[in-house]
Amino acid sequence: MLSRTKRIYIKTLGCSKNQVDSEVLLAQAQANGLEIVSDISDSEILIINTCGFIADAKQESIDEILDAAELRKAGTLKKLYVMGCLSDRYPEELRKEIPEVDSFFKSSHTSVSDILAELGGHYKKELIGERVLTTPSHYAYMKISEGCDHTCSFCAIPLMRGTHVSRPIEELVHEARLLHQKGVRELILIAQDLTWYGLDLYGKRILSELLKRLSDCGFDWIRLQYAYPARFPMDILPVIRERENMCKYLDMPIQHISDPVLKSMRRGITGERTRELLHQIRSEVPGIRLRTTLITGYPGETEEHFDELLDFIETFRFERLGCFPYSREEATIAWDLGDPVTDEEKQRRVRLIMQKQEEISFEHNQQLIGQTLPVLIDRIEDETAFGRTEWDTPEVDNEVIISLDSTRSPKRTITPGHFYTAEIVDAEAFDLFGHLLD
């Protein structure tokens, strides 16, 4: 145990995988006698969990470190530590440029014990599965594996997080039960690639078995994020279809549809096979909502390739879609291809894709008007409740907006983290509007 109570604040940047790592560190820190504070101004020790995925994320991380370095120089902070992907990717450069940081640690999932040792504590193995949730208490992310075995040309994740490493299935089930005991009603499974789960530990991919085990833990909803399309495990589709608490939702980043671009990206799948897979998923799981992510402006993407992508979006009509301009990342395979598409052209292509998706999403949402749906309430602000359907992941997808002063249910009966039945009475491109029913 630490010799005296120290006040610690963790600033988490980047993705939900980083958020889970911070929650694990918080649980271990608390068990070692540190006091977790919710305001940086109350802390003695600041830990920044950084993101290094693309240029914008790296810049955000650097800005946060520089701001904290000023507090360290002024004596407001006694210790400043940096962990996570940016720290893992550029440790020597950061040490040289920002000497105010006391220590830099590597990828956050591997640095918990090192940080605790720096603070005079130690990693407690009996706490495996324990976390201090930083999400609202009714939902939680659970990371089932670390790293990635794929070699996508544009992606720096394997450089920072290493190759794919699955967590043992019993450890995951144990953590899930702990989360359920804490009142978590929605479990969101995350990984760099969910579909590869189990291969390294068990000699075969067993995501379908894991889903069945987790489905039996009592959660109302289980949601899947980040499924790689190449060599997709079709045996998970019956589980999603037949288990009532499996959300009819799948996040599968396809990145592109044009064969030359997919080949250069090293995605391991053709445009034709991508189309077949997506149609098969819809066929085998009626009512499923598919989210995807696209990259445009990749080196070598011609206007013809882009038009093919835009046409595919219009014909397939994803329910949820995000698009990002290509970001050239050092040490990736695509680095040597240069960055021939101008920033202005990248933004134009992103804008065209998102304009098309806005039209599609509006039409999808209009079809829900008049339907009655279960809604999980996330928060209440003044006289308005904000919730989600099973087709929407937190902070990313649509919300159901409910005006409480126009419902028959008094406000005091509406509680975040609980399910209610709502009639959808109106819809915009990315929001639904509903009335609660008795």
* Rounded-to-integer distance, Cα 126 and Cα 370, Å: 50
**pLDDT class of 107 with cuts at 50, 70, 90:** confident
Q: Residue 56's pLDDT is what?
A: 86
Residue 304 pLDDT:
98
The whole model's pTM is what? 0.95
Cα gap 247→386, rounded to integer Å: 19
Q: What tokens appear for 279 in the block? A: 């149609």
Nearest by Cα to 373 from 427, 321, 412:
427
* Count of residues in the chain: 438
Tens-digit pLDDT profile for residues 314-359:
999 999 999 999 999 999 999 999 999 999 999 999 999 999 999 9
Query: How many of the other CB atoms lie within 10 Å of CB of 280?
Result: 13
pLDDT at position 409 over 80: no
pLDDT in tens, 248-293: 999 999 999 999 999 999 999 999 999 999 999 999 999 999 999 9
User: Residues 14-34: pLDDT tens digits?
Assistant: 899 999 999 999 999 999 999
Note the pLDDT tens digit of each residue in 77-103. 999 999 998 988 888 899 999 999 999
Between the CA of residue 323 and those of 57, 294, 297, 309, 431, what are the distances in Å?
16, 5, 11, 11, 19
Q: How far is CA 205 from CA 61, 276, 409, in A?
A: 35, 22, 47
Q: Which CATH superfamily is domain 372-436 in?
A: Nucleic acid-binding proteins (2.40.50.140)
Write down the CATH number for the domain with range 139-366.
Answer: 3.80.30.20
Token pair, residue 31, equals 């068990």
Query: Does residue 110 have a pLDDT over 80?
Result: no
Would you state the pLDDT for residue 345? 98
What are the structural domain ranges in the chain?
7-127, 139-366, 372-436
* Contacts of 41 by beta carbon, 8 Å cutoff, 6+ apart: 76
Give the residue among 308, 307, 306, 311 at the shortest CA–CA distance from 325: 306
- pLDDT over threshold 60, residue 408: no
Right CATH for 7-127 from 3.10.129.10, 3.90.320.10, 3.30.365.10, 3.40.50.12160 = 3.40.50.12160
